[in-house]
């Protein structure tokens, strides 16, 4: 005869026990699903380079057919990073260290939302609007760029040395808004100067040969890459403890001295990682380069001529390439080069970001 349990479990305890067992089974199945998904992604990540390695063909004429495409990809990425770094890094510095909290809460999501704009839309704008405008006003753009840095230096000198201290305190964090009027005046002056310089004899040397060229690609692709540079650089700068800057200012340093001599050196690995990932992002871009570059495989370094990147060439020639042919093998060879360069840049960026995390954790 069975002995009755002297301490029978209550219905509430049994209910909690069943719920705990059910929760444990759910967690077990969830972990199993995550492991399977991770394994599938790992197999897929290994399958892509293995497929490219197995299908790529190194024919005798591979160099004159692939190297111009690689040069075009590097040119487009270089032009884009030249545009994206001043805009993205400057915005990241101001947003992380100088902007009021309300402005940072507004501008950071806006910059990151711009990254979601489809590349084909940006390519359409570049091909239909930006390219014809630059064909007529490239001298105005050059004048604007040449005068922009002296204007910024002069504005900073006037604000720091001549503006009353009361104004500086009241406008702290809003100094960028004060630059809008000088920038608009500089834009109007640049347009007038560009039209005047267009009548000179040497202006023909700076005239683009085609509306679709590396300059158009660099400007629009730089705007597409800028949110990546901004987001990563801003996170790196914001991760540096604010007490470092406050301590430097308490010892007599200005905000800019604390930024250049203390904050930026500490956040340098994160900033470098932002540049590497931005370059990798520009290197693999397809639609903007396809629609705005003219797709001419030239190897010169002039931004006023066209180019043809590996990604754009894959989009153009892959549908017509017959599997197993020499052209098909060269296409996969160029894809393998692009994959390897982007993978190397991303791995290097991750290593640099890890160095930033260790540096910040040791502060």
pLDDT tens digits for 197-222? Answer: 877 777 777 778 788 888 999 999 99
3-state secondary structure of 215: helix
pTM recorded for the entire structure: 0.83
Average pLDDT over residues 57-83: 88
Nearest to residue 75, comparing CAs of 302, 317, 313, 343? Answer: 302
Q: What is the DSSP secondary structure assignment for residue 261, as one 8-state letter? A: I
Q: Which fold has domain 64-131+208-361?
A: MetI-like fold (1.10.3720)
Tokens describing residue 188: 């109007």
For the stretch 303-329, pLDDT in tens is: 888 889 999 998 888 888 888 788 888
Task: Give residue 91's Cα distance to chain centre.
Answer: 13
Confidence bin at 75 (pLDDT 50/70/90): very high
Produce one character per residue of 312-341: b if its CB has 16 or more CB atoms within 10 Å, e if not: bbbeeeeeebeeeeeebbbbbbbbbbbbeb
Residue 81, pLDDT score: 94
Q: What is the percent of the chain where pLDDT is above 90?
A: 17
Position with higher pLDDT, 45 vs 221: 221
Domain limits, the chain: 64-131+208-361
**Which uninterrupted H or E stretch holds 325?**
none
């Amino acid at each position: 005869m069975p002995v009755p349990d002297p301490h029978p479990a209550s219905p509430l305890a049994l209910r909690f026990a069943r719920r705990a067992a059910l929760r444990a089974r759910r967690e077990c199945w969830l972990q199993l699903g995550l492991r399977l998904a991770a394994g599938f992604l790992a197999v897929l990540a290994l399958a892509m380079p293995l497929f490219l390695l197995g299908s790529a063909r190194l024919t005798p004429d591979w160099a004159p057919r692939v190297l111009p495409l690689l040069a075009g990809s590097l040119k487009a990425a270089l032009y884009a990073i030249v545009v994206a770094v001043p805009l993205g890094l400057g915005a990241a510095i101001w947003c992380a260290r100088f902007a009021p909290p309300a402005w940072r809460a507004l501008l950071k999501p806006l910059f990151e939302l711009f990254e979601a704009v489809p590349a084909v839309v940006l390519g359409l704008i570049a091909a239909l609007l930006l390219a014809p405008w630059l064909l007529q006003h490239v001298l105005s753009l050059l004048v604007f760029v040449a005068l922009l840095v002296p204007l910024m230096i002069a504005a900073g000198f006037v604000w720091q040395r001549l503006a009353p201290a009361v104004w500086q305190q009241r406008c702290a964090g809003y100094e960028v808004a004060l630059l809008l009027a000088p920038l608009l005046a500089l834009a109007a002056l640049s347009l007038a100067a560009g039209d005047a310089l267009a009548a000179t004899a040497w202006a023909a040397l700076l005239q683009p040969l085609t509306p679709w060229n590396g300059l158009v690609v660099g400007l629009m692709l730089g705007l597409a890459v800028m949110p990546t540079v901004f987001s990563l650089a801003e996170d790196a700068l914001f991760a540096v403890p604010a007490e470092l800057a406050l301590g430097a200012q308490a010892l007599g340093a200005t905000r800019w001295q604390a930024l250049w001599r203390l904050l930026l050196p500490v956040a340098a690995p994160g900033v470098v990682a932002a540049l590497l990932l931005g370059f990798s992002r520009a290197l693999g871009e397809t639609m903007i380069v396809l629609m705005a570059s003219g797709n001419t495989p030239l190897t010169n370094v002039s931004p006023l001529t066209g180019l043809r990147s590996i990604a754009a060439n894959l989009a153009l020639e892959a549908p017509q390439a017959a599997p197993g042919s020499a052209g098909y093998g060269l296409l996969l060879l160029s894809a393998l080069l692009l994959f390897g360069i982007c993978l190397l840049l991303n791995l290097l960026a991750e290593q640099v970001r890890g160095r930033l995390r260790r540096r910040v954790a040791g502060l």
